[in-house]
Amino acid sequence: MISRKTVLYLLFGLALALGCGEKSPLPTGRWVDLSYDFSSATIYWPTAEPFRLDSVAGGFTEKGYYYAANNFRSAEHGGTHIDSPIHFAADRMTVDQIPLEQLISSAVLIDVSEKAQGNRDYQITTEDFTAWESQHEKIPDRSIVLLRTGYHRFWPDRVRYMGTDKRGQEGVAALHFPGLHPDAARWLVENRQINAIGLDTPSIDYGQSQLFESHQTLFAKNIPAFENVANLDQLPPTGALVFALPMKIKGGSGGPLRIVALVPNNVE
């Protein structure tokens, strides 16, 4: 049994980690939730099983205390989630094998929302990366790269967000949303050393992709991807610290993701 003293030490350590003490190991700042909640409204790939929450109990028991419990089920890939490398690359990491240091890192935000606004099939290019670097700095090693297309503003409207509300293969054929161009993915893995990549659309590859080449390229190098990321408009181009912790599914090709960012007070 854990002693009261041990509990107090743990609570004190947690308080420090959250920036509540003078000697906090983390900078103080504002927290940004980059995750959508999971519900019947959550957007999934047209062929994926949607999220379902079934009530097991909810109310006062015969002994007088309140008790609530639910069962949930869904596909791995839907809502704010992670794609582990094995999703499109044989013998690469499953979601439980991704090291924490790849999922907790400083982040850069590359904003292509103006270009994507008028082109649902826009693919983020190498030039978008080099233009960002010309204004800021070289994408730092071991950073998380986040791509803002502006499509989070359409969530959870399936038609506006992903181009269709049709299901099955008919729905897949009708997908239209921005993504990462395969040439840009190849440039990243050949010229930069990143921990992970994420964006505010349903897929790293754009909606009309047939071969999912950006997935293949990134995942072959064990670079995971975060999809359906929320609130990227609240992050600065540099300086945010991102925590992206997925459900630890043994052998999983992906899973629900709770991703948050800490923006230090000295970062604008």
* pLDDT tens by residue, 8-52: 343 344 444 544 445 555 568 899 999 999 999 999 999 999 999
Q: Which CATH number fits domain 34-264: 3.40.630.30, 3.40.50.1370, 3.10.20.30, 3.50.30.50?
A: 3.50.30.50
Helices 182-191, 126-135: axis angle to 10 degrees equals 50
How far from 43 is each of 117, 133, 152, 259, CA to CA, in Å?
Answer: 20, 33, 12, 17
pLDDT given at position 8: 36
Mean confidence (pLDDT) of the chain: 92
Please state whether beta strands 104-111 and 238-246 pair in parallel, antiparallel, or not at all (unpaired). Answer: antiparallel
Show me where the domains of the chain are located.
1-26, 34-264
Flag whether pLDDT at 145 surpasses 90: yes
pLDDT given at position 23: 54
pLDDT given at position 184: 98
Backbone angles phi, psi at 48, to 5 degrees: -95, 150
pLDDT given at position 27: 64
List, in order, residues 6 or more apart from 49 with CB less than 8 Å away.
73, 74, 75
For residue range 65-123, list pLDDT tens digits in order: 999 999 999 999 999 999 999 999 999 999 999 999 999 999 999 999 999 998 999 99
Report d(CA 154, CA 113) in Å as an integer.
13
Backbone angles phi, psi at 167, to 5 degrees: -110, 165
Flag whether pLDDT at 209 surpasses 60: yes
